[in-house]
Structure 1
Amino acid sequence: MERPIDEFLSKTGAIELLCEIDLDGSRFEDLNDDLPVSRQTLAVRLREASEASLIEQETIQGERGTSHKHVLSEKGILLRMQLIKPEGVAKYHQYNDSRQQWDEKKEEIREIASEATVESPNSRYTDGVKALRCFAQSLENGEKGDDGD
């Protein structure tokens, strides 16, 4: 039987969530902007992290009323420290930077694929264009999913 924290960490966006929460706390919208998961998945992960006692919610009084931020609990901080040991958070940020660079190039690849024509009798070229179109289509279908996992 899987332990609750192990189960949580195996889910999409869980480790990323622990890496992205600022030590002073993060608001939902900030986390949503920073994480490669849907709003629905983020909401589920926050609830699960709270149930696993990894994060806590704090109330913030602002000019526009009451708001909330999510902060790592003592248990969450200890877990994040374990992620840091093998430079896990640093590697995650490298991954995130690469993902953002990829997101910036995706549209360019889609445009090239949609403009490519299969005019060459060279089957390697034809196969390459077909593969590029298929890849571009998979990018369009694979945007932030609402899988809840």
Structure 2
Amino acid sequence: MVKRTSLEGAECPVARSLDAIGDWWSLLIIRDAFDGIRRFSEFQRNLGMAKNILAARLRTLVAHGIFEVLPASDGSAYQEYVLTPKGNGLFNLIIGLRQWGEAYFYEAGEAHSLMVDREQGLPLRPLELRSADGRLLGPEDCWRVPVQ
């Protein structure tokens, strides 16, 4: 098996972020946490993943400060995995992936879930990237500059 290379010290923020998230299983765990899942057994049942893989992914997400482990909210002996502010910061990423998937991986009329505004029940507007002055930006409008 190939040993994974750490990107923790990479200059690129995308690489560092991927180092913390790890893989697609981790993004599905985070997605489920946004849907209200908090316990190991619930993640395992919902995702159908092997317990050892789930345990490893949760350990990594906790170590990177994306989740924290707390006593169960119902007072039982269980633990719960709760998103931290850092973890909640991934919400836009999850919504962006979701909207991208809806746009490119479903045929017209094909069944899928829809994310809606809880208060009004309306579908979310597509995410947009805007400049500081409010202009809509695309890939051709952006470039990387080093920060010292």
Query: RCO higher in 1 or 2 (8 Å CA, sep ≥ 6)?
Result: 1
Q: Which has the larger radius of gyration?
A: 1
Q: Which residue of 2 aligns with 1:2?
A: 7
Cα distance between partner residues in 1 of 2:51 and 2:83:
19
**Equivalent residue for 1:67, pick from 53, 78, 87:** 78
- When residues 77 and 34 of structure 1 are mapped into structure 2, their CA distance, relative to the original with a 3 A threshold, is same
**Equivalent residue for 2:94, pick from 78, 83, 91:** 83
- When residues 66 and 73 of structure 1 are mapped into structure 2, their CA distance, relative to the original with a 3 A threshold, is same
- When residues 8 and 89 of structure 1 are mapped into structure 2, their CA distance, relative to the original with a 3 A threshold, is farther
The AA in structure 1 aligned to 2:88 is I
Q: Is the 8 A contact 2:37 2:43 kept in 1?
A: no
Q: Is the 8 A contact 1:59 1:66 kept in 2?
A: yes
- When residues 70 and 61 of structure 1 are mapped into structure 2, their CA distance, relative to the original with a 3 A threshold, is closer
The AA in structure 2 aligned to 1:2 is L
* 1:26 aligned onto 2:38: yes
Calculate the aligned-residue CA RMSD, in Å. 3.2
What stretches of structure 2 of length at least 5 have no aligned partner?
Answer: 1-5, 9-15, 113-148
**CA deviations over 1:119-139 (Å, ceiling 9, x no partner):** xxxxxxxxxxxxxxxxxxxxx
Q: Is the 8 A contact 1:21 1:71 kept in 2?
A: yes
What stretches of structure 1 of length at least 5 have no aligned partner?
Answer: 99-149
**CA deviations over 1:10-48 (Å, ceiling 9, x no partner):** 425111111011465511100001114211000000000
In proportion to residue count, which structure has more helix? 1
* 1:56 aligned onto 2:68: yes
How many residues align? The count is 94
Tell me how far 1:7 sits from its aligned partner: 1.9
Cα distance between partner residues in 1 of 2:44 and 2:89:
23
Percent identity between matched residues is 17
Question: Where in structure 1 do 4 or more consecutive aligned residues deviate above 6 Å?
Answer: none
Tell me how far 1:67 sits from its aligned partner: 1.3
* 1:14 aligned onto 2:16: no
Tell me how far 1:80 sits from its aligned partner: 2.4
TM-score by length of 1: 0.51
Task: Determine helix, strand or coil for the equivalent of 1:37.
Answer: coil
TM-score by length of 2: 0.51
